[in-house]
Amino acid sequence: MSSSHRHLTLIPGEPLAPDAASRPGEVPEEELLQVGDLARAVGKTVRAIHLYEELGLLKAHERSKGRYRLFTPDAVVRVRWIGKLQSLGLSLTEIQGIERARNDVSSAQSAAARLRELYQAKLLETRAKIDELRALESELVASLDYLAGCNTAFTLGATTPIFVALLSRPLLGERVGRHVAVAVTLAFAGVLAIVRPSFAIAWPVALVATAGAVFFALAMLWLRRIGPGESHEAIVLHFSLVGLATMVALALPVWRWPDWPGGLALLGAGLGGGGAQLAMTRAYALQRAAPVTAISNLGVVFTYLLAIPLFGDLPTPWQLAGTTLVIAATVLLTADGR
């Protein structure tokens, strides 16, 4: 037996001739394999070996005295060759066709030419799949980067209470006590633990997210300034109308009408946001800006808690720790009562 028949390539051994079942005595009896031994040697099931026989892809060398089929060590190479062709995406019917073509050709050159055509077609198909997988990889990487950026942007947006605490004295003349500073720090640490941002986003995105936090802080400070002299309903109405005009102007270049489920979701978000704005405006009218803004981080906690029944998301230890910090900050602000 030549060495080329022993190492596994995509080129099989000799074709299966009709009389290939064999010539007793050519292989030592101790080297012959029963069907179970052959199956274990190649990692296949006995049923798969029988199927290969039924399809004419494999033939027994001889039968034992007990009428058990016996195979030569060459059968191991052949079964692995069949498995390798299957891993290329060829069906057993196509492999049958290869074997039939190899048996029918008049010369080894013709057989090689036939295999070359088949393998060339499979090579082109494989390269096309590789291109598709690379494109999918790029999309997945971009999606993961986007999601990581969302978490980071959200965290930077949660710095609003810090800016409110820093600007309360110069813009409102409200003193920020030590307990408020501690509470703001605890709340922000809790948000970090819950969201766990990567901070691996481009600096323009980070700059925009931070600027958004600053502008939102300014909006909250102005709510506090005008709150005592105006009804909170009127403030929310003016706030919403200005926000609506601004958002419509920005959205017009990329406007797209939502479908019915999306429209209902947006309606629900609008109603919830409107109610939250009314409550927040009332709170700013009753209490200093820094404590109220720090307590607003409870929204992050409620978001993750609601995700448990709605989406089946179980909180991680980090999220539980962050929730504890945010609640501790809220208790600190509430217990102080100043």
Mean pLDDT by 10 residues, the chain (338 residues): 42 44 57 88 90 88 77 89 84 82 70 78 87 94 79 78 85 83 85 76 75 86 76 77 85 86 88 82 77 77 81 80 83 64
Do 184 and 246 lie in one domain? The reply is yes
The crossing angle, in degrees rounded to 10, of helices 178-195 and 298-311 is: 30
Domain containing 269 equals: 142-336
- Asked whether residue 121 is assigned to any structural domain, the reply reads no
266 in any annotated domain: yes
Tally of domains within the chain: 2
Q: Are residues 100 and 153 in the same domain?
A: no
Helix axes of 317-336 and 298-311: crossing angle, nearest 10 degrees: 140
pLDDT of residue 217: 86
User: Are both 269 and 171 inside the same structural domain?
Assistant: yes
Q: Are residues 93 and 209 in the same domain?
A: no
Instruction: Give the pTM.
Output: 0.50
The full length of the chain comes to: 338
Residue 29 and residue 154 in one domain? no
Tell how strand 33-34 and strand 69-71 pair up: antiparallel
Q: Are residues 100 and 146 in the same domain?
A: no
Q: Does 122 map to a domain?
A: no
| Cβ 113 vs Cβ 27: under 8 Å | no
Q: Which of 172, 177, 174 is nearest to 337 (CA)?
A: 177
Q: What pLDDT was estimated at residue 24?
A: 45
Residue 112 lies in a domain: no
Q: Say if CB 179 and CB 333 are below 8 A apart.
A: yes
160 and 88 within one domain: no
Nearest to 212 by CA among 171, 174, 257, 163: 163
Tell whether 216 and 309 lie within a shared domain.
yes
* 80, 104, 128 - which closes a domain: 104
| C-alpha to C-alpha distances, 117 to 12, 86, 114, 239, nearest whole angstrom | 15, 17, 5, 71
Contact of 332 with 297, CB cutoff 8 Å: no
Other beta carbons within 10 angstroms of residue 300's beta carbon come to: 21
Strand order across the beta sheet in which 62-63 lies: 33-34, 69-71, 62-63
Structure token pair of residue 195:
């969201």
User: What per-residue confidence (pLDDT) applies to 22?
Assistant: 41
Residues 216 and 299 reside in one and the same domain:
yes
Look at residue 135 and tell me if it is in a domain: no
- CATH for 22: 1.10.1660.10
Residue 61 lies in a domain: yes
Q: In whole angstroms, what is the distance from residue 264 CA to residue 268 CA?
A: 6
Same domain, 60 and 178: no
Q: Rounded to an integer, what distance in angstroms lies between the CA atom of residue 327 and that of residue 295?
A: 9
In a 10 Å sphere around its CB, with 0-12 CB exposed, 13-18 middle and 19+ buried, how is residue 14 labelled?
middle
Q: What is the pLDDT of residue 199?
A: 66
Q: By C-alpha distance, which of 15, 20, 18 is closest to 107?
A: 15
Closest CA to 173 of 101, 115, 221, 237: 221
The predicted pLDDT at position 20 comes to 40
Whether 120 is in a domain gets the answer: no
Q: Angle, nearest 10°, between helix axes 108-157 and 178-195?
A: 170
Residues 79 and 178 in one domain: no
End position of a domain, from candidates 104, 132, 166: 104
Shared-domain flag, residues 208 and 282: yes
Distances (CA, A) of 113 to 88, 116, 310: 19, 5, 60
Report if residue 115 sits inside a domain.
Answer: no
Point out the domain boundary residue: 104, 133, 167. Answer: 104
